[in-house]
Structures are given as C-alpha cells and as structure tokens.
Amino acid sequence: MKGIVVFLFAVFLMLPRLGDACSMYKLTKNGKTIVGNNEDYTSPNSQFWFEKGSADTYGVMYMGLLDKFAQGAVNEQGLVFDGFWEPYLEVKNTEGKLEIPIQDALKKVMETMSSVEEVQSYLSTVNLNILESGQLVFVDRSGTYLIIEGDSMLSGDEAEKTFSNFYYSQIESIDDVDLQYYQKGNEFIRDTKQAQTMDYCTEAMSNFAQLGIAPTQYTTIYDLQELTIRVHLFHDFSDYVELDLKEELQKGNRHTMIADLFPDGSKGVRHSNKYNNPEHPTLLLEELLSTSELSEQDFLEQGFDYIINELGYEWLNYMKNVDGAIKVFEYGTQLMPNSANLHDSLGEAYFVNNEWDNAITSYEKSLALNPKNENAIEMIARARQQSEQNTSADQ
C-alpha cells in the first residue's frame, strides 16, 4: 500500500469512531484551575453561542455544530463541561428517574449551578440512558471534577486529570487505554514540569491533538478563575484568539462561527472554506483518498459511510444546499456501491430536490441491498405518487 493508505488506516484505528473523539485536561494549582479541551471530528462548522444570564440564571457560552446541540459549555461561575463519545455500556439505573431530554438537563445545570456537587445531586435524579454510548465530564473552578458515565458518577480533586474516549470505571490504569493520541498527551504531561499557565495547557493539548480525516477542529483553554477562554482553530497552536467570558455575555444573546473569529488567511479558515465549497463539497475527502487503494470493504469496516452521511446531511439539513448533499452522497455510493444506507441517503436528497425518478432508483438500490429497509419501501411509494402527480399536472 502507498503511504496515504497506511496513514488512513492509522487514523481509522486510532479513533473510537470516526469523527467523535476528543480529549480534556485539567490542572489545579495554587488556587487556580485551567482546563483544556480538544474537539475532534470531520466538520469544521463549529460555533459558539452566548446566552446572557438573568436575575435567576447564570450566563453561559455553549459550543457545538450547526445543529446547536451543545457539545460543551462554560458558565460565568467557572463550571465547564464536555461530552465524550464512548463504547457502548448499558445503563441500568433508570427506574423512577426524571424523563428529561439531556439538552434540557444540561441547560438547567449550566444556567443554575456552580459546583460539581450540585451537578451530581441533580443529574443523579435524571434518566441518563442516553449515555449508553457517551459520558459527561464537569470541572468547577475549585478543580473538582465529575465524570458521569450513565450509572456511575466518579468525582475527585486531584491536581491533574485527563479524560478522553474511555470509561475510568472500566480500567485499572490509564496505561490500559488503547488510544494513541491520548497516550501521547499523557506522555507529555508525565515528562514535563507542570506550569499553571494557559501556555502550558495549550502545549499539553497540542500533544493530544489529531490530524487526518477527523482532526482537532478547535481547542479551548479555560482559566476558570479569570473566566478567560483561549481558542485555537484547526490544531494550529501557534495562533489563538482570547475571549473574556463576562464581556462576551454582556454583548447579549448571539452566536458566532468559530472560524469567523480568525483572519481569512489562517490555516483553519482556509480549511473551513475548502470543506464548505458548494461546487466541490467532497474536495477534502478526495484529496485524502486520491492515492489510496482502500477497498469498499475497508471503507465500510472502518465506518467511512458514517463520515459521508455526516457530511451529506450537514449540507442537506443545516446548510440547506441539496445540490451539495447530492454530490456528497453520490461520491459515497461510488466509493461504497453496496452500502444500502448511502443509497437511502442519496434517495432522500433526490426526493428533497423533487427528482422523483432518481429518488426511486436510489431507494430501489437500497432496498435491493437491504430488503428490510422499510423506509425505502415507503419512500418509493411516495416518490412514485409525486412523479404521477407531476406528470398529470404537465398534461
């Protein structure tokens, strides 16, 4: 295999699931807590949104993708959280718990709580079965942390703690964690003298950072006492912007794309522009795969269909560009012609674009590959009905 193939396999094997890795590091010393966080996934379309506090609530800065599903947040009391994708772990303790969407629960936490003790007391009453494939990590300004795995809640106040895509309850030692990027970051921390500065935390997070198909899209460094936030874009640790949380909240409720905080010529902005090219929305993927010899089975086994779906539906549902979505799904079906899922997705994009015959063809291919695809059966009928109505209207 050529070099790019080896590189891609390394990327595939390194991630728990393509597009959903991240890492976090907290350091408390001399009464100051600094937290670093890397967000690693395919899309660079991340944003911050600010919600000003009231007489009864704290102001909060949230962060996430275009769907505005908060992947992390920090409030004006110095409470920060991040979410992590994890391998499946059954959540059993659900009986009698509050049934509330996790985003609503997190909003309540960030708007009304300042300590991990409060968070633990509240979230222990909530049905957290959504965390069967994930966990939450909270850190407050005292340096106390809380790991919520679903059934398990682990807290501590060690001076240093690292977090990533694994369960502390399932390991004897962090040496057992089979994540190369995580171990690289831990090696740096173990072998260097810790400094209670944002610069040191930045250097640590640079060692946790990833490249490739699901790179570190942005890094946030929080000083929980000063409430300053340093932001690095697209694993470029030579440049950053710094935000004062209280000043940002005083500007009122609003949202901003993270890339818009940086100059046009910066590495991260160039990457974002290439990813969001409406004429060629698969350009980045094509460049990475241009010399590869990966088979369709390689792509499917490593979850590359997930990457294609993530990209295609971003164009379809959030950027509202159906032509871009069609190009992405067509590219995916060329790479993986036996993926029933991708043919189904392409059918949906054609359907949204009123291309009834193309939608029928794509759904029929999906159904042939997966005869149990009830969605394809339903959508074929709907597309045929639309096509017949369209024909009748033209006559």
Distance in angstroms (rounded) separating the CA atoms of residues 73 and 35: 12
Sheet holding 21-29, edge to edge: 160-163, 21-29, 32-40, 216-223, 228-233, 241-244
Q: Could you write out the three-class secondary structure of 148-178?
A: ECCCCEEEECCCEEEECCCCHHHCCCHHHCC
Place of tokens 């009464």: 31
In a domain, 8, yes or no: no
Backbone angles phi, psi at 223, to 5 degrees: -100, 105
Q: Measure Cα distances from 83 to 103, 108, 198 in Å.
A: 11, 16, 22
Does residue 135 share a domain with residue 114? yes
In a domain, 1, yes or no: no
Distance in angstroms (rounded) separating the CA atoms of residues 35 and 261: 21
**Residue-level pLDDT at 393:** 67
In a domain, 56, yes or no: yes
Backbone φ/ψ region at 185: left (φ over 0), alpha (ψ -120 to 50), beta: alpha
**Residue-level pLDDT at 395:** 58
Distance in angstroms (rounded) separating the CA atoms of residues 52 and 378: 45
In a domain, 321, yes or no: yes
The number of residues in the chain equals: 395
Distance in angstroms (rounded) separating the CA atoms of residues 166 and 154: 13
Distance in angstroms (rounded) separating the CA atoms of residues 212 and 137: 26
Sheet holding 153-156, edge to edge: 153-156, 145-148, 134-139, 80-85, 72-75, 60-64, 47-51, 254-257
- Residue 370's domain comprises 280-394
From 196, 198, 202, 195, select the one nearest 216 (Cα to Cα). 202
**Residue-level pLDDT at 293:** 84
In a domain, 3, yes or no: no
Residue 337 makes CB contacts below 8 A (sequence gap 6+) with: 296
From 126, 180, 137, select the one nearest 162 (Cα to Cα). 137
In a domain, 263, yes or no: yes
Does residue 373 share a domain with residue 240? no
Does residue 256 share a domain with residue 317? no
Does residue 255 share a domain with residue 346? no
**Residue-level pLDDT at 289:** 86
Does residue 209 share a domain with residue 311? no
Does residue 116 share a domain with residue 40? yes
Does residue 166 share a domain with residue 36? yes
**Residue-level pLDDT at 292:** 79
Does residue 302 share a domain with residue 204? no
To 5 degrees, how large is the angle CA 270–CA 40–CA 275?
Answer: 30
Does residue 260 share a domain with residue 321? no
At 8, is the secondary structure helix, strand, or coil?
A: helix
Domain with residue 383: its CATH number is 1.25.40.10
Does residue 243 share a domain with residue 387? no
In a domain, 236, yes or no: yes
Distance in angstroms (rounded) separating the CA atoms of residues 54 and 246: 13
Domain with residue 216: its CATH number is 3.60.60.10
Can you read off the two tokens belonging to residue 221? 């460094």
To 5 degrees, how large is the angle CA 228–CA 86–CA 109?
Answer: 45
Number of H helices, E strands in the chain: 14, 14
To 5 degrees, how large is the angle CA 194–CA 197–CA 199?
Answer: 95
CB 295 within 8 A of CB 301: no
Can you read off the two tokens belonging to residue 49? 């949104």
The DSSP H or E segment spanning 360 is helix 356-369
**Residue-level pLDDT at 291:** 77
The DSSP H or E segment spanning 83 is strand 80-85
**Residue-level pLDDT at 20:** 59
The DSSP H or E segment spanning 11 is helix 3-14
* Domains: count for the chain: 2
Does residue 324 share a domain with residue 222? no
The DSSP H or E segment spanning 199 is helix 198-208
Place of tokens 């089979």: 178
In a domain, 9, yes or no: no
Q: pLDDT in tens for each of the 395 residues of the chain?
A: 233 333 333 333 333 343 457 999 999 999 999 999 999 999 999 999 999 999 999 999 999 999 999 999 999 999 999 999 999 999 998 999 999 999 999 999 999 999 999 999 999 999 999 999 999 999 999 999 999 998 999 999 999 999 999 999 999 999 999 999 999 999 999 999 999 899 999 999 999 999 888 899 999 999 999 999 999 999 999 999 999 999 999 999 999 999 999 999 999 999 999 999 999 999 999 988 877 788 999 999 888 999 999 999 999 999 999 999 999 999 999 999 999 999 999 999 999 999 999 999 999 999 999 999 999 999 999 999 999 888 776 65
Of 221, 239, 271, the domain-final residue: 271
Can you read off the two tokens belonging to residue 301? 């086994």
Of 271, 297, 320, the domain-final residue: 271
Of 226, 247, 271, the domain-final residue: 271
Strands 254-257 and 241-244: unpaired
